[in-house]
Each structure stands twice: as structure tokens, then as C-alpha cells.
Amino acid sequence: MTTPEQSRVTLSRILSAADANLLGNIHGGNIMKLVDEAAGVVANRFAQGPAVTAQMDEMTFLAPVRVGDVLHVSAQINWAGRSSMEIGVRAECDRWDAVTERVHVSSAYLVFVAIGPDGETREVPALEIVTDEERRRHREAQIRREHRLARRDAIASSRTTD
Ligand SMILES: CC(C)(COP(=O)(O)OP(=O)(O)OC[C@H]1O[C@@H](n2cnc3c(N)ncnc32)[C@H](O)[C@@H]1OP(=O)(O)O)[C@@H](O)C(=O)NCCC(=O)NCCS
């Protein structure tokens, strides 16, 4: 069994002018890609094989990232079901031109689903929750899952009544 702590990864990258938007800051889409990649590393390792992104929850950008800043994207698993997993991701940056506290740039929750060689969803191992912090994240992930599925089902049923 794997714990959230054992699943944790951090990807770090220097952002360049090629990643910038028209204002000269880093394009949000480039940060989203790194968030998806970090979550994917966690999901594939935990699932011991391929897992695909099924959903990325609402993602807010709290502070701009500048060209030359070092972006650190940390991800860990919060919750695992039969075939799906919720991965929590936090993006922070070090300013390239000052020794300051790390700046919190963005946070997101992503759902990944494990896929077998036949292309069908497959079971993932059990997640072992150890610490109180992991228990809190697991409980909150369960609430988010119920909301995601309820929203998906409500939209699907509204379409059948059209
Ligand atoms: C993700 C995908 C495999 C789910 O297929 P599906 O037919 O809905 O599969 P299921 O109904 O069996 O659901 C599989 C799991 O995903 C969960 N799930 C599906 N949609 C979900 C959503 N919107 N939010 C949260 N969980 C979701 C289900 O609850 C189930 O979880 P469990 O097995 O842990 O109980 C399918 O939608 C897909 O292949 N999407 C494309 C993914 C992709 O290619 N991503 C890369 C970017 S292009």
C-alpha cells in the first residue's frame, strides 16, 4: 500500500520568454500543463500503470509568475476509489531576482482514472491514510467527489428532460 506522503512529487522548472503571454508574464496554460504533468506522475506511479486526466477542478491564479522565476509544482494523492484518484497540486515560485518567501501561485485538484491494456478502467491499489492531515484531505476529497458526481448526474438528467 502507498501513503499520500510516499506518492508526493515536486517538479521544478525555470520559465522562459517562450512561456510568456502578451503582458510578459507566464501564460496560465503553461502552468496548467505543469500541474497536469505533476499530477500525472503521481497518478501513474500510484496506479502502477497508465492513468488519464478525467477532470481538473476550478483553478485560480493567485499571483503572476515572471520570466526567469523558478516554478515548483508539488502533487500528492488525496483519495483513491475503485479506478479513480484525486490528486492535489500546489504551485509556488521563487522570484529569479530576490531571496523572498516562496510565492503561492495556484492550487488545483485533479481526477485521474486508471486505464488497463484493453482501454477499460481498472482497479487501483488501496490508499493508506496515516496522518491527521492526510485524513483531513481524504475527507475533503470525498466531499468534492460527491459534488462532482452530483453535478455530472444533474446535468445529464437535465438533458434527458429537454
Ligand atoms: C475518464 C474516463 C476513462 C471515465 O470514463 P467513464 O466511462 O466515465 O468511466 P466510469 O463511469 O467507469 O468511471 C470511472 C471512474 O471515474 C470516476 N469519474 C468519472 N467521471 C468523473 C468526474 N467527472 N469526476 C469525478 N470522478 C469521475 C467514476 O466515479 C469512477 O470512479 P471509481 O472507479 O473510483 O468509482 C473517460 O471519460 C475518458 O477516457 N476520458 C478521456 C480522458 C483523457 O483522454 N484524458 C487526457 C486528456 S485528452
For ligand 1, atom 20, the nearest C-alpha belongs to: 54
Confidence class for position 160, pLDDT limits 50, 70, 90? confident
Summary mean pLDDT of the chain: 96
Coil/strand/helix, residue 88: strand
For the chain, what is the domain count? Answer: 1
Evaluate whether 71 touches 12 at the Cβ level (below 8 Å). Answer: yes
Mean pLDDT of 76-89: 98
Angle at 145 between CA 51 and CA 90, to 5 degrees: 65
Confidence class for position 42, pLDDT limits 50, 70, 90? very high
Q: Report the b/e string of 28-50 with b at 16+ CB within 10 A.
A: eebbbebbbebbbbbbeebbeeb
Of 150, 26, 156, 7, the closest CA to residue 78 belongs to 7
Predicted confidence at residue 58, as pLDDT, reads: 84
Q: What is the DSSP letter of 90?
A: E
Q: How far is the CA of 52 from the centre of ligand 1 (A)?
A: 8
Of 95, 39, 36, 34, the closest CA to residue 65 belongs to 95
Of 119, 94, 137, the closest CA to residue 7 belongs to 137
Mutate to test the pocket of ligand 1, among 36, 109, 111, 113 (most ligand atoms within 8 A of CB): 113
CATH number, position 137 = 3.10.129.10
For ligand 1, atom 10, the nearest C-alpha belongs to: 121
Does residue 162 surpass a pLDDT of 80? no
Range of 121's domain? 4-160
Residue % of the chain over a pLDDT of 70: 99
Mean pLDDT of 31-37: 97
What's the alpha-carbon Rg for the chain, to the nearest Å? 17
Mean pLDDT of 79-103: 97
Work out which ligand 1 atom sits closest to the CA atom of 80. 34
Mean pLDDT of 55-60: 91
